Structures are given as structure tokens and as C-alpha cells.
DNA sequence: CGGCTATTTCGCCGATCACCGAAATAGGGC
DNA sequence: GCCCTATTTCGGTGATCGGCGAAATAGCCG
């Protein structure tokens, strides 16, 4: 569960997730959106994969990344739940 | 805005925020909940303060920390918004 | 003032991180 | 087989991070 916090902590990775919200993209396609070397992005993909926030599909030499919306959704819900937002601070109302 | 991600990225700081959800606490009181040295906790307080997630009130030699619920709430809402969770992925429905 | 308590500031250290270029892996086309 | 493209793995580097003990700051009390 903690890998998700790690994944969300980096701005580049958050941006990647936002890009994938629009549509699935290949590794190179994603990389073209950044001013970073391919190996750097590849490392970010690995972190997102470990957090299960994205899944990959190989087709020939290209790898297409897809956002795992439900995992992201549940992670943010769990985060809100952890802070019990929306509930009262009182123990005995 | 990015200081908030940094603040939330560390488990100790998340735990501090959860403790402060219950009630405001002095620095020493918070520290007694962890197996960490006071200077370490003091550093965490500084990060939370920079993110404006907590505010402090000085009274004598003790400093009481209070959770800034609205900032945390808005930050998590902004996070959900950033990923547009709850909306469709389609541009033209 | 001197001592006690609460908290922070000040180096310092080891671990982790983001980043890169170069090399390795793998598939497709000729 | 050989080249070209796509992507990852491999070392290495500089920056940031979380942790600590020691010292500094500040208020209270006798």
C-alpha cells in the first residue's frame, strides 16, 4: 500500500498518470511529453508498475501503458478514509 | 501546492496528521507516540508547517499543534480533481 | 540569578532518489 | 544474418531525506 504514496510523491509520475487518464500510450509516446532521458522515464514506469497503478501490454517492440483507474481510485479513497474526512471530530455527538 | 505531496509522502507525517485529527496536541505529546528523537519530530513538524497542514500556538514553553482540516481536505480534493476521478474518460460522450 | 522543562537549530551520516549515458535485450523488415 | 527501432538494465553521480546527539533558545519557578 505504501508503494502508492511513493508513486504519487513525484511530480513526473503524477503527470504520467494524468496523461494516461486521457488514453493509453506507449512508453516512447509518454517519454516524448517530458524533457527527460528514456532511462529516467523507464524507471518511473517501474515505480508505477510496482504500485500497480499502471499495467502494460507488449505488442512487438512497443509497450503500451494503461492507467489502472480502480487502483488509483481506491488508493485516494483509502487516503481520505485514513483521515476520516467528512466525519466529525467528536467522539460522542 | 507541491509541499503538500512532500508532507504526505512520509508515513510518520501521515501518522502525525491522524493523531491531530483526534485532538490538538503539544509537540512533546506527539513525540511520545513515536520511537523517534525529538529533533526528528521537530523536523517533521516543520515540513507540515510549510505545507500549512498544521498551525501552532505557543503558550509558555509548550507549543500546541492543531490540524488545519480545511487545507488537508482541499488538498485531497485537488488531488482527486487532478485525476478527474468520477468523470468519464471520454471527451465527447 | 540558577536550574528545570519544552522545543528548535545545527552539523553530520547513511540511505534513498532522480537523473544520465552506455550497453544490453528484443522484435520487425530487408 | 544485419540493421533499425523501442525499451530496459546497468553503473555512476549529485541532491535530497530521515535520522541522531549536542548545543542553542526560550519560558517558568524558586
Q: How high is the mean pLDDT in each 10-residue block of chain A (93 residues)?
A: 91 97 97 98 98 96 97 89 74 48
Question: How many Å apart are CA A21 and CA A76, to the nearest integer?
Answer: 15
| Residue A79 to residue B84, Cβ atoms within 8 A | no
Provide the pairing of β-strand A54-59 with A25-26: unpaired
Tell me the per-residue pLDDT of B20-64, one tens digit each, with 9 for 90 and over: 999 999 999 999 999 999 999 999 999 999 999 999 999 999 999
pLDDT of res. A36: 98
Distance (Å) from the alpha carbon of A56 to chain B's nearest alpha carbon: 19
Task: Please name the residue of chain B whose CA is at the shortest distance from the CA of residue A6.
Answer: B9
pLDDT at B30 (0 to 100): 98
Rounded mean pLDDT, B73-90: 80
Asked whether residue B2 carries a pLDDT value surpassing 50, the answer given is yes
Q: How many CB atoms lie within 10 A of CB A47?
A: 19
pTM for the model stands at 0.90
CA distance A43 to chain B (A): 19
Give strand D nucleotides closer than 7 A to any protein Cβ.
5-11, 17-23, 26-28
φ, ψ for residue A68 (rounded to 5)? -95, 85
For chain B, give the mean pLDDT. Answer: 91
Q: Residue B90: what pLDDT?
A: 60
At CA A23, angle to CA A17 and CA A25, rounded to 5? 80
Flag whether pLDDT at B80 surpasses 80: yes
Looking only at Cα atoms, what is the longest distance across chain B? 61
Mutual angle of helices B38-50 and B2-9, in 10-degree steps: 150
Amino acid at each position: 500500500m505504501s508503494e502508492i504514496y511513493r508513486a504519487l510523491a513525484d511530480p513526473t509520475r503524477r503527470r504520467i498518470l494524468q496523461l494516461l487518464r486521457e488514453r493509453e500510450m506507449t512508453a516512447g509516446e509518454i517519454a516524448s511529453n517530458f524533457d527527460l532521458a528514456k532511462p529516467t522515464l523507464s524507471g518511473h514506469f517501474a515505480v508505477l508498475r510496482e504500485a500497480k497503478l499502471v499495467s502494460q501490454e507488449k505488442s512487438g517492440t512497443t509497450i503500451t501503458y494503461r492507467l489502472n483507474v480502480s487502483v488509483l481510485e481506491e488508493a485516494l479513497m483509502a487516503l481520505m478514509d485514513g483521515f476520516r474526512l467528512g466525519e466529525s471530530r467528536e467522539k460522542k455527538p
